[in-house]
Structure 1
């Protein structure tokens, strides 16, 4: 079968699905792309793009109210017009969705878009219930599953009967609540908690154990300290045993007492969108709803591939897009693999959190003999001139070879500096090699060089731009 005769069914239209469709089409396949909802998936519509717009607006509001330079620059609490901010936010979302998804699909000669819900009949056929009501059978040579995930609803008694906010609905809230309770202590929960606090809400975060419990403990401690400086209340070791909604007020019974709020945001994870696909019928293996894939992004059924948040891969859009692209290559005869050994993660709080590679605890569990260093930001010139030295950079290295194994950073613009660490780990660099590199002066990324230098010297004894 030539590539030009190869027909691939792609279910979904988000980052993974679009990458798979475009790569396979580029390699000569014909694509039928099936989307039951809004084209573009989570990232552009209800995830990365709108959330980062909200977070940036909240950051600007915070700086107008309070900054390290208030001794010489006047400051005042801004008037927040959330409805106007929302209109600006949604206009940019609409613009990007059209430019990066809808417009591409309209103009692509080898991709046909069907609006409807797909389910597998067998390993070479789908039935699509079109949004207009009819059904259409789609025969395919290969298929790709890129259906994403949705916010999880935890089994808290009473919660389902209340108008609580998910991460999706919180982004389209037209007013800023006076009091907001947040259940969850991961990336999404903490990003939105701080954003609403900076826009004017009194925010309380309920953490089942502690903030960012899967990360190095110092990261959670640093974020909690930042939240407390801003007046955000953090309740560790706290769970809601019941949620009620009466007289326009949420009442949470918790292990530490009763909590009342005007809005309740629940952000405790995401659930893969796989239950309507009929995967059991065709023996595609799943675990907790997530599609299991091999290093080639193929499922347990030959010819059927998957990537993104509906799989057991990390839930980052760049992982989804990379997986989709490689699946597109493999569905058309290639053998591309997805290497996640140097995968960056970024949380867009202030300070930001960025990580790559192994934490100290993970390295020890893998039987590495490790050497670690933690650099306080008071040793980073960029932080000093910003008058913002809260946070740290930590490096984990293999003791004997000095090879860099992991980096964790809690700093302003940590998301910008972490890619340098990604490339260093990918290249197998040692901390000494990182220390010997040229880094531009008065940048946050120079903190990586300074942290690497601490393996062999006291950076407090160096001149401010010493090599």
Structure 2
């Protein structure tokens, strides 16, 4: 314990995990020293979720003004004019507002939290040395420590790439112009979200997928997103790998097994790397795997008293997982007992159509030894999709064969992200597909598709009236 008998916790980082840990620990009576080497707020608000979703929404509006399912009866007066510089200003203004409201302002006014600007390095299990941004060093002694340093875009070991001015997701979001031609290397969440957004803003986009789109998901998910991309003129090259990149001063030249490609900008989005290498973790016994800190169910590292959560750990990289982990770690650091249950963890990809999932895929359920039964409901059978004149997508339910208990849900639909939480609650409550099919769902909502898909386990929904119970 510190001299004043108040538990002192060093929190390294200031993003979703770190802020949740600091605030919860302070609420439970601890004194906090929060150490941040860069911008307060971490990835999500500054260079991740918030700016990317603003960009995606703006691109969606552009897309609808160019083309919609109702163009036969609703004519567009003129093609939209895009001022990317003004869109960027709007985007960054909202980022700054949220950063101040949700991070900087809270820290400024919190008596129990002291903020140090600088880079932390562990000396032992009770001390960190902070290389202060303003110069000099300061040693911080702590009773407990929490690491929430997040992650950054991974560097791809591709010949020639490091010598070029390629884009990562961070600086792609800060572009004040729309490139005429854009190559995207990557086929997962960030790559696909930004590929479609820039295509809708006017770029001619080519996506290079080493295997297929969204290879970690049910194969039908990637196939449906690929179909949506083709419909919008986005070129998708699957089973395609770059072997070299060059930059001539005015264009990128990318050699691949599918030929040589040229573009004005190159975006590399092939994953994220934990920000842990500067912390001196190995010397104090904190174990990592490929840079990611290993934590147990209580969010404790391999060193007692040192906890971690978020993208710098081996947990799934979602800000809500980070915040939940930080909060539970704070409970455990202050004498309580809490664990992080990820058995019903939702995930959303903000392409159009959106992808939303929770629980097990069919392949994962089989691998875990379940005997499963599945149903896939195409959106042609969902009234909301029919009246939207937008039926590309599906809902898939994975259930345990004998009991009918829901094991997982995969959705590709325009509003998939808005319906998935209902599936989360059903999974958490151990509902069966029979029980889901018997529930009341509001008519002409996309979430009604969950009920309809559940009903297909026992009946032919094409033979039901519109809102049959």
Alignment of 1:4-19 (within 5 A): 5-19=6-20
| 2-structure distance, mates of 1:16, 1:38 | 15
After superposition, the Cα gap between the structure-2 partners of 1:463 and 1:272, relative to the gap in structure 1 and judged at 3 Å, is: same
Q: 1:307-322 maps to which residues of 2 (within 5 A)?
A: 307-322=309-324
Tell me the matched-pair count. Answer: 467
Cα distance in structure 1, aligned partners of 2:418 and 2:300: 32
1:47 counterpart = 2:48: yes
What is the CA deviation profile of residues 327-362 of structure 1, one whole-angstrom value per residue up to 9, with x for unaligned ones?
A: 011100111000000100100000000000000000
Structure 2 equivalent of residue 357 of structure 1: 359
Q: CA deviation at 1:248?
A: 1.0
What SS does structure 1 have at the residue aligned with 2:182?
strand
SS in 2 for 1:128: strand
Structure 1 vs Structure 2 CA RMSD: 0.9
What is the rounded CA distance, in whole Å, between the counterparts of 2:261 and 2:304 in structure 1? 51
* Number of the residue aligned with 1:123: 125
> In the TM superposition, what whole-angstrom CA distance separates every residue of 1:373-402 from its partner, at most 9, and x where no partner exists?
000001000000000000000000000000
Q: How far is the alpha carbon of 1:178 from its aligned partner?
A: 0.4
For the pair 1:396 / 2:398, whether they are aligned, the reply is yes
**SS of 1:242's equivalent?**
strand
Quick check: 1:4–1:29 contact (8 Å CA) kept in 2?
A: no
Q: 2:79 corresponds to which residue?
A: 77
Query: Residues 113 and 273 of structure 1: is their aligned pair in 2 closer, same or farther, counting only changes over 3 Å?
Result: same
What are the within-5 Å matches in structure 2 for residues 49-64 of structure 1? 49-64=50-65
Match of 2:227 among 225, 228, 242: 225
The aligned runs of 1:182-221 (5 Å cut-off) are: 182-221=184-223
SS state at 1:346 partner: strand
What does 1:279-318 align with in structure 2 at a 5 Å threshold? 279-318=281-320
| 1:418 CA drift (Å) | 0.3
SS of the residue 2:396 aligns to:
strand
2:253 is matched with: 251
Q: Return the match for 1:269 from 261, 271, 288.
A: 271
DSSP 3-state at the match of 1:87: helix
Gaps of 5+ in 2: none
C-alpha separation between the residues in 2 aligned to 1:432 and 1:160?
A: 55
Match of 1:433 among 432, 435, 441: 435
Q: Does residue 458 of the first structure (1) align with residue 452 of the second (2)?
A: no
Q: Deviations over 1:58-88 (max 9, x none)?
A: 0000000000000111124211100000000
Deviations 1:237-293 (A, max 9, x none): 001100000031000000110000000000000000000000011000000000000
Equivalent of 2:138 in 122, 136, 140: 136
* Matched residue, 2:417: 415
TM-fit CA distance, 1:54? 0.1
TM-score by length of 1: 0.99
Q: When the two structures are superposed, what TM-score results if normalisation uses the length of structure 2?
A: 0.99
The match for 1:111 among 110, 113, 129 is 113
What SS is found at the alignment partner of 1:338?
coil
Structure 1 distance, partners of 2:356, 2:164, is: 35
Query: 1-side partners of 2:35 and 2:188: how far apart?
Result: 31
Identify unmatched segments of 5+ residues in structure 1.
none
Q: Secondary structure at the match of 2:18?
A: helix
| In 2, Cα distance between equivalents of 1:321 and 1:327 | 10
Name the CA distance, whole Å, in 1 between partners of 2:178 and 2:49: 20
**Deviation, structure 1 residue 4:** 6.4
